[in-house]
Structure 1
Amino acid sequence: MMIPSEGELFKKILGPTWGKLHPDIQARFDKNPLPGKPLHYTGTLSELSCSRVGRLLGYLSMPFVKGALMPYNDADFPVDIQVYSRHNCAWIFKQRTYRLHARKPVMFTSYMAESPKGEVLEYVGMGLGMKLVLDVRDGNLHFESDGYFWQLFGVRIPLPDVLTPGKTFLRHRNNSANQFDIRIEIRHALFGTTFTQAGIFREVTV
């Protein structure tokens, strides 16, 4: 069985557009983490913010998907990321550890999978997830959510947009062969920007 990587999935979904990505980003996502040998990244989140509505949603969702929507405002704190695979599993897992100021570290794990229809799906826990649409702009990789869902007994049940945190926008921008920055914004149609994260990361060898 082929060891899964985000690159294999993204390459398949993007098709010829994959070639428009900066070569450093292609090389970064082409790495395949062997089971038990995760890829490690470390960095600093320069911005973590949420609106009042975002804070409410963060606290309400915490018992179910802790860390997916953080109801905090903070800045300039370290974050560690592990990307890993499991034996006989096609999913790609991503574990993030946020080391906020004056709080216990918050750990959040999601996984990415390809649907039978060839869609990129990211699951955040309790069967909750979102469909992602990929794009390349100026050589950088962009993701936009295209609907949230709750998967129950293998069936995806779409969630009304108004009942979600909002549309997710993520940009992976290359800085150098070993450094990149990430910016995430979640924007609600009625309440505006509910969550923002921005930081700079680099791969580390452990």
Structure 2
Amino acid sequence: MMIPSEGELFKKILGPEWCRLHPDIQARFDKNPAPGKPLNYTGRLSELTCSGIGRVLGYLTMPLIQGALMPYNDADFPVDIQVYSKPDCASIFKQRIYRLNGRKPVMFTSFMAESRKGEVLEYVGMGLGMKLVLDVRDGNLHFESDGYFWQVLGVRIPLPGVLTPGKTYLCHRNNNANQFDIRIEIRHALFGTTFTQAGVFREVIA
């Protein structure tokens, strides 16, 4: 089995749009993390916020999907990211360790996979996930969620939008060959912005 990379999946999904990505972003996602040889990134979050509704959702979901929705407000703290693959598995896994100020570190792992229909799916735990739509703007990579689901016995059950944290928007913006910005916003149709994360990261070269 070919060692998977996010780049291979994104190239397939984006088609000709892939060529509009900044070459540094193309090179970053083209790297294939062989099993036992993860890619490591480190950085700092300048912004971590949640609204009142977001805080409630964060605490309610913490036992199931710890770290996916963090019920905290914080700033200027380190985050470590590890991107890895598993033997005989086409999914790409991403582990994040948030080293918040005055709290125990929070670890959150998700994985990305391609559906049979050629969709990009991200799973956050307990069968919960979201479909992602990719777009290239000004050479940077943007993701938008296009519905959440709960997967049970291989069947995806759509979740009503009002019962989710909101629509997720993520931007991967290039700074230089070894540094990039990430900004995530989750916006609910009724309650507005529920969660925000923003930070700067760089690859750790061994």
Tell me the SS of whatever aligns to 1:65. Answer: coil
Deviation of 1:101 (Å): 0.3
What residue in structure 1 maps to residue 194 of structure 2?
A: 194
Q: CA RMSD in A?
A: 0.3
- Provide Cα deviations, 1:41-67, integer angstroms capped at 9, x if missing partner: 000000000000000000000010000
Q: Give the counterpart letter for 1:112 in structure 2.
A: M
d(CA) in 2 for partners of 1:161, 1:104: 31
d(CA) in 1 for partners of 2:43, 2:168: 21
What residue in structure 2 maps to residue 62 of structure 1?
A: 62
What residue in structure 2 maps to residue 117 of structure 1?
A: 117
Tell me the SS of whatever aligns to 1:14. Answer: helix
What residue in structure 1 maps to residue 51 of structure 2?
A: 51
What residue in structure 1 maps to residue 39 of structure 2?
A: 39
**Could you list the runs of 4 or more consecutive aligned residues of structure 1 that deviate by over 2 angstroms after TM superposition?**
none
What residue in structure 2 maps to residue 18 of structure 1?
A: 18
d(CA) in 2 for partners of 1:140, 1:204: 21
Q: Give the counterpart letter for 2:88 in structure 1.
A: N
Deviation of 1:31 (Å): 0.1
Q: Give the counterpart letter for 2:42 in structure 1.
A: T
Tell me the SS of whatever aligns to 1:58. Answer: helix
Q: Give the counterpart letter for 1:75 in structure 2.
A: A
d(CA) in 2 for partners of 1:62, 1:200: 25
What residue in structure 1 maps to residue 174 of structure 2?
A: 174
d(CA) in 2 for partners of 1:35, 1:127: 23
Tell me the SS of whatever aligns to 2:143. Answer: strand
Structure 2 segments unaligned to the other structure (5+ residues) = none
d(CA) in 2 for partners of 1:17, 1:205: 29
d(CA) in 2 for partners of 1:62, 1:30: 33
d(CA) in 1 for partners of 2:177, 2:205: 14
Deviation of 1:14 (Å): 0.2
- Provide Cα deviations, 1:156-187, integer angstroms capped at 9, x if missing partner: 00000000000000000000000000000000
Matched, 1:147 2:174: no
Deviation of 1:205 (Å): 2.1
Q: How many pairs does the alignment contain?
A: 206
Q: Give the counterpart letter for 2:36 in structure 1.
A: G
Deviation of 1:24 (Å): 0.2
Identity of aligned residues (%): 84
Tell me the SS of whatever aligns to 1:170. Answer: strand
d(CA) in 2 for partners of 1:185, 1:127: 22
Tell me the SS of whatever aligns to 2:62. Answer: helix
Structure 1 segments unaligned to the other structure (5+ residues) = none
What residue in structure 1 maps to residue 108 of structure 2?
A: 108
Normalised to the residue count of structure 1, the TM-score between the two structures is 1.00
What residue in structure 2 maps to residue 5 of structure 1?
A: 5
